């Protein structure tokens, strides 16, 4: 698989470490969320067959986190974004 | 129709005209007491034991494709019970005991071959860890043996003992481990279940679940609605897809695991062997092909095919261990979809929906578990409580901190 890095261009997926569902960006607030919410965040996954937004870490590159939109049935990559931009668009890290 | 030596001779003398299809192809009835979703190894074993050991009737197995067409036909056929943790070892030892009596039990030749498995040791720390594992296995009534470097050399003198980075320093052996003809397991269970009146319904995809007031009523399928008192789901690889019909999110990711078979060779490896420095496991089939595999690809996938980097990695593992196979050609590679759970261990449990039961999360260790998985799931379905050896495989273990994490990797499914 080739991941089209927004800054570095086409990179082999082997340069990356895979973390999983991009929903992991949205960690609940530890001061307010209950144990159920944290359990759901840490352990449960949508795990769709089809389009999946997921976190890849460019360990052997610029060490950026990316949100890759990829089809889990065909392995086709539709979209690659910097995780930083995705998180900021969601109002994180103000 | 029972199989016997006499029967084989009689058929040989009469032109093999007496063999009949070994299971029916029934249309679904309007309602069953039990519906098992998934006609693979685990689902068929569940139906078989439910009918045979737990005396239940009115059972159907619903299979989207054909019987045994999923992971039970795509694995590397290894059986063993060399686990460390309390939650796992009794279960896998129960499974290995069932394997030992399986062919007599269901009167079908599954080619259960207890040719032994060895896991190689390359460092002192690994020897300590494997010694501990061997002790745990023995304490749970399994067999385990520590082999010295010379013991291993007697078995396989052509291994790369003096590899500069990963010298072979010994092995842990389980002589009762081995291989089984994987398809025959599905066929044997299917035949045994059919003989006891279980309806095996193929080309029947579950497209929805009818749940009223927190209780399951039945399932919507591509062949119409089928009512059921209890529904058991055993579709590892596609668990998240099927359980989504019940609105459930699971502690599971689906990943692709590749397997490989080489061209046929003369006898080289008479048992099962794993490389302890990389991730590489190998046995030799009765046709002579080396059957081997390594790590999962590491990203969510439902594709049943993997990518080249993992093939390269597995080949490197093989070459580091066995330089002799350098010119052997690869015949086939294929992929299967694994339920990778959050602690690397399976789930056999009730759900919060009354009458809906779940069996999955087998990671890439599901084949060896087939008999015990079927038995324990049938036990749960029939009695509404867990079998003694499967008590730890609960849904809520992640909430309660009761994980069974053999590798100690935490909630990272692609590393288990």
Whichever domain contains A48, its CATH number is: 3.30.2270.10
Tell the residue number behind the tokens 């074993």, with chain if given: B45
Q: What single DSSP character describes residue B120? A: E
| pLDDT at residue A94 is higher than 80 | no
Cα dihedral sign for B295, A49, B217, A44?
A: positive
Helices (H), B258-365: 308-321
pLDDT of residue A91: 85
Distances (CA, A) of B130 to A80, B264, B374: 43, 32, 29
d(CA A46, CA B257): 20
Q: What is the ipTM of this complex?
A: 0.96
Could you tell me where in chain B the CATH 3.50.50.60 domains are found? 5-78+84-93+100-105+182-251+343-415
d(CA A54, CA A39): 19
The answer to whether B377 touches B232, Cβ cutoff 8 Å, is yes
For the stretch A33-86, pLDDT in tens is 999 999 999 999 999 999 999 999 999 999 999 999 999 999 999 999 999 999
**In angstroms, what separates the C-alpha of B216 from chain A's closest C-alpha?**
22
Q: What single DSSP character describes residue B146? A: E
Q: At what angle do helices B124-139 and B89-106 cross, to 10 degrees?
A: 60
Provide the b/e sequence for A15-27 (b: ≥16 CB within 10 Å). bbebbbbbeebee
Chain A / chain B CB contacts < 8 angstroms: 70
Please state which CATH class domain B5-78+84-93+100-105+182-251+343-415 belongs to.
alpha beta
Of B241, B251, B302, nearest to A44 by CB-CB distance is B251
- Residue A94 included in any domain: no
The CATH T-level fold of domain B112-176+253-341 is D-Amino Acid Oxidase; Chain A, domain 2 (3.30.9)
d(CA B361, CA B29): 30
For the stretch A67-78, pLDDT in tens is 999 999 999 999
- Residue A18 included in any domain: yes
Mean pLDDT (10-residue bins), chain B, 416 residues: 89 94 96 98 98 97 97 96 96 98 96 98 97 97 98 97 94 98 98 97 98 98 98 98 98 98 96 94 96 96 95 96 95 96 98 98 96 98 98 96 94 93
Chain A residue closest to B412 (CA)? A19
Chain B residue closest to A44 (CA)? B251
User: Phi, psi at residue A69, to the nearest 5°?
Assistant: -100, 115
- How many structural domains are present in chain A? 1
Q: Quote the domain boundaries for residue A81.
A: 2-89
**In angstroms, what separates the C-alpha of B12 from chain A's closest C-alpha?**
47
Tell the residue number behind the tokens 């030596």, with chain if given: B5
**In angstroms, what separates the C-alpha of B55 from chain A's closest C-alpha?**
36
The answer to whether B216 touches B228, Cβ cutoff 8 Å, is yes
pLDDT of residue B406: 95
d(CA B86, CA A53): 36
d(CA B181, CA A28): 48
CB contact under 8 A, B299 and A48: no
The answer to whether B337 touches B364, Cβ cutoff 8 Å, is no
Could you tell me where in chain B the CATH 3.30.9.10 domains are found? 112-176+253-341
Half-sphere exposure of B17 (CA within 13 A, CB side): 3
CB contact under 8 A, A52 and B300: yes
d(CA B173, CA B159): 16
CB contact under 8 A, B254 and A72: yes
């Amino acid at each position: 698989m080739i991941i089209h890095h927004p800054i570095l261009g086409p990179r082999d997926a082997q340069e990356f470490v895979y973390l999983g569902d991009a929903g992991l960006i949205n960690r609940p607030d530890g001061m307010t969320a209950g144990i159920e919410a944290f359990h759901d965040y840490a352990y449960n996954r949508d795990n769709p067959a089809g389009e999946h937004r997921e976190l890849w870490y460019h360990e052997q590159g610029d060490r950026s986190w990316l949100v890759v939109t990829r089809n889990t049935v065909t392995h086709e990559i539709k979209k690659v974004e910097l995780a930083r931009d995705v998180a900021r668009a969601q109002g994180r890290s103000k | 129709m029972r199989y016997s030596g006499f029967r084989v001779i009689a058929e040989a003398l009469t032109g093999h005209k007496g063999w009949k299809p070994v299971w029916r192809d029934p249309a679904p009835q309007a309602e069953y007491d039990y519906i098992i979703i998934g006609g693979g190894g685990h689902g068929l074993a569940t139906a078989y034991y439910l009918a045979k050991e737990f005396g239940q009737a009115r059972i159907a197995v619903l299979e989207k494709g054909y019987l045994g067409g999923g992971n039970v036909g795509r694995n590397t056929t290894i059986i063993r019970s060399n686990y460390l943790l309390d939650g796992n070892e009794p279960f896998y030892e129960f499974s290995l005991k069932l394997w030992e009596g399986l062919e007599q039990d269901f009167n079908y030749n599954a080619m259960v071959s207890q040719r032994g498995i060895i896991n190689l040791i390359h460092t002192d720390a690994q020897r300590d860890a494997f010694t501990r594992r061997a002790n745990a296995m023995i304490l749970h009534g399994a067999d385990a043996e520590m082999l010295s470097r010379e013991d291993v050399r007697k078995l396989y003198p052509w291994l790369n003992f003096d590899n500069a980075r990963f010298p072979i320093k010994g092995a842990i052996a389980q002589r009762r481990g081995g291989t089984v003809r994987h398809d025959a397991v599905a066929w044997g269970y299917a035949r045994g279940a059919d003989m006891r009146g279980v309806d095996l319904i193929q080309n029947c995809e579950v497209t929805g679940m009818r749940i009223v007031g927190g209780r399951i009523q039945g399932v919507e399928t591509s062949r119409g609605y089928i009512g059921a008192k209890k529904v058991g789901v055993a579709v590892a690889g596609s668990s998240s897809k099927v359980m989504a019909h019940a609105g459930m999110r699971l502690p599971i990711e689906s990943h692709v695991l590749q397997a490989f078979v080489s061209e046929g060779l003369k006898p080289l490896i008479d048992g099962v062997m794993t490389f302890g420095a990389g991730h590489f496991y190998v046995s030799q089939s009765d046709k002579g092909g080396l059957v081997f595999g390594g790590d999962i690809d590491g990203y969510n996938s439902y594709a049943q095919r993997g990518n080249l980097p993992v093939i390269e990695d597995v080949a490197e593992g093989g070459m580091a261990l066995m330089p002799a196979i350098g010119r052997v050609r690869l015949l086939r590679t294929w992929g299967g979809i694994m339920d990778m759970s959050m602690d690397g261990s399976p789930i056999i449990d009730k759900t919060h929906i009354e009458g809906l039961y779940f069996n999955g999360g087998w990671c890439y260790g599901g084949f060896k578990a087939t008999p015990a998985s079927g038995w324990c799931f049938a036990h749960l379905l029939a009695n509404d409580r867990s079998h003694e050896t499967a008590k730890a495989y609960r849904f809520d273990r992640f909430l309660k901190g009761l994980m069974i994490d053999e590798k100690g990797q935490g909630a990272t499914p692609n590393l288990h």
